[in-house]
Amino acid sequence: MYSPAVTTSTDQTGAANWLNPDYCDRLEDWVKMAHCYGGQRRVKDQGETYLNPTAGMRRAGFPNANTPGAAAYDAYRMRARFPDYCYRAVCGLVGIVHASAPVIELPDALEPMHKSATIAGESLETLWMRITAAQLIYGRHGLLLEVGSGLKVDEALPFIVPYNAVSIVNWDKGQRTQGREELELVVLDESGLERKQNLQFEFVRRYRIVARADVAATIGMVDQSQAAGGEYVAAVVNVTEGGQLSGAQFIAPQIGGVSLDHIPFAFINTNDLVPATDLPPLLGLADLSLAIYRGDADHRHALYASAQDTLVRTGATEEQQNLPVGAGAVVDVPIGGDAKYIGPESAGLSEMRESKKEDKQEAEGFVLQMLDSSGREAESGEALRIRVAARMATLYSLQNTAAQALTDIMTSAGEWMGLPASELAKIVIKPNLDFGDVKANTQALRELMDAKIKGAPLSDRTIHGWARNNGFTEMAFEEEIEELVREEMDRPGGDAGINIDPTQSPTE
């Protein structure tokens, strides 16, 4: 399953001004989704970001280390459980959506990319699963088409590099020209761990800038004399510890001397392919999971406190302080003194438990409701289809959007390789949308037959047409009649000499 990496931070010295305002506005949602998808350890590592300490813990010294407050918070956080609803939802939905393979047809020149499309050698089907997971987690993904250097013309083949939402840090959709906008600039964060000669890994901050040559010239990274109009150029930029940029040398990638006149990058959102960001579709589930996490922490903390009664002694002398209690211990009480245990009121525990139970039921039903294709009693097939189609609309949108993005990327690959329009027309990429196919229930069919018996003006041909449209049969009416007669002839005592008349009803 796809594992999102959250490597980009907004404290990048020398590069913070590269962040698109839309990116900054959505980053908090993306990081939250990545943490919730990453599970309990990832969420707990964020400390008070998702679980605030109590007022008593702060009074006792939190967040200072080696204080009673810090120790109490560590125990408070450790007892709490974070539910993995986001991970299970993504895995389940990806599995359902990709249960059947999509339709992918490519011209011969691009066919090798079908089985090895990405920089990691993944097939287009595997890449599509990665895209679906990213759409569910972030509501956004990106694909960049690249080509290796130093290859012979007949060996050159583009490959796709996927980028998660957090890595697409800046972009410029361009100005409207002749009724449309043309992407002018994309900045991609490729920072990460890099192995050094001593076998140790070092975090390296690096960016890839892809742009039109004339736009790159306006930002001072390409000599004006080298700017070749709208030609696609790219550069890798390293950021040093002092925030200085290095390595900003743009090149125009080519295949057999052919360069592109557009940036081969595709934004893949939930509902569209534009640079503007979308709301993550499972953000509500993440918020609900965090609410359950906090509620569980409070509930378990209250249980712990209610089970830890305090011994109170009246009239104890100084010599009788700090005596052991529990099984095998003896507590002496002076004449006129008293000893008893007191504890917190536990009247609110049942309300905490019920609240947590309701939140869990809501979370568990979040995805199940989207996939509920069971018919209610006496619900017609059409009503059932409309109800489920409304719930599956998000998944349909994800698949259609991804299919269009892959089609655009593969078309750019073909153009880069110099394929004619007739070959590009052979690119066919269609999603599997059968995961939301709802068949009519048998109750509706029984009602139709009962209505006919009671005099409703319904012909057998009409009822058969309804049954065929709702998935009960794939045969035409005449084929169905022939099959019924054939079954009758095969039965013991059946009339093998019966004449088949396709105009007759099954009863006749």
Q: Please tell me the distance from the alpha carbon of residue 107 to that of residue 424, in angstroms, as a whole number.
A: 7
Residues 6+ apart with CB under 8 A from 454: none
Q: State pTM to two decimals.
A: 0.75
Instruction: Sort residue 229 into left (φ over 0), alpha (ψ -120 to 50) or beta.
Output: left
Q: Which alpha helices (H) appear in 117-204, and where do they start and end?
A: 124-138
Nearest to 278 by CA among 91, 445, 125, 137: 137
Q: Is the dihedral of CA 435, 124, 169, 411 positive or negative?
A: negative
Angle among Cα 392, 396, 402 to the nearest 5 degrees reads: 150
Q: Tokens for 303, please give them.
A: 């249980």
**Phi/psi at 181 (5° precision):** -100, 145
Nearest to 366 by CA among 152, 136, 164, 209: 136
Q: Distances in Å between the alpha carbon of 485 and those of 78, 462, 471, 492, 508? A: 71, 19, 22, 13, 10
Q: Tokens for 419, please give them.
A: 């394929």
3-state secondary structure of 42: helix
Q: Tokens for 456, please give them.
A: 């409703």
Nearest to 135 by CA among 104, 162, 105: 162
Q: Are strands 180-181 and 159-164 parallel, antiparallel or unpaired?
A: unpaired
Beta strands in 326-388 (DSSP E): 338-342
**Phi/psi at 229 (5° precision):** 60, -130
**Pair 237, 257: CB distance under 8 Å:** no
Q: Among all chains, which residue has been given the structure tokens 């917190």?
A: 344
Per-residue pLDDT 10s for the chain (508 aa) are: 554 545 444 444 444 467 999 999 999 999 999 999 999 999 999 999 999 999 999 999 999 999 999 999 999 999 999 999 899 889 988 988 898 889 999 999 999 999 999 989 999 999 999 999 999 999 999 999 998 764 444 457 899 999 999 999 999 987 766 667 889 999 999 999 989 888 899 998 889 999 988 888 777 655 444 545 568 989 888 876 655 666 667 888 888 888 898 999 999 999 999 999 999 999 999 999 999 899 989 888 888 777 666 667 776 666 656 666 655 566 667 776 777 766 666 656 676 666 667 666 666 666 566 555 444 444 555 554 544 455 567 888 999 999 999 999 999 999 999 999 999 999 999 998 877 554 555 667 777 888 888 888 888 888 888 788 767 788 888 888 888 888 877 776 655 444 545 555 544 5
For residue 372, the model assigns a pLDDT of: 54
For residue 247, the model assigns a pLDDT of: 60
Report residue 215 CA to chain centroid gap.
33
Q: Is the bond leading into 506 cis (omega within 30 degrees of zero)?
A: no
Q: Distances in Å between the alpha carbon of 41 and those of 44, 280, 359? A: 5, 22, 21
3-state secondary structure of 133: helix
Torsion angle defined by CA atoms of residues 241, 243, 249 and 255, in that order, rounded to the nearest 10 degrees: 70
For residue 10, the model assigns a pLDDT of: 40
Q: At what angle do helices 124-138 and 393-416 cross, to 10 degrees?
A: 130
Q: Please tell me the distance from the alpha carbon of residue 106 to that of residue 112, in angstroms, as a whole number.
A: 9
Give the single-character DSSP code of 255.
Answer: B
For residue 457, the model assigns a pLDDT of: 83
For residue 490, the model assigns a pLDDT of: 75
For residue 176, the model assigns a pLDDT of: 65
Number of H-type helices and E-type strands within the chain = 16, 16
Q: Please tell me the distance from the alpha carbon of residue 207 to that of residue 170, in angstroms, as a whole number.
A: 11
Angle among Cα 136, 141, 147 to the nearest 5 degrees reads: 145
Residues 6+ apart with CB under 8 A from 319: none
Residues 6+ apart with CB under 8 A from 121: none
Q: Distances in Å between the alpha carbon of 351 and those of 79, 168, 298? A: 19, 44, 12
Torsion angle defined by CA atoms of residues 462, 464, 470 and 474, in that order, rounded to the nearest 10 degrees: -140
Residues 6+ apart with CB under 8 A from 21: none
3-state secondary structure of 459: coil
Nearest to 105 by CA among 131, 124, 126, 127: 124
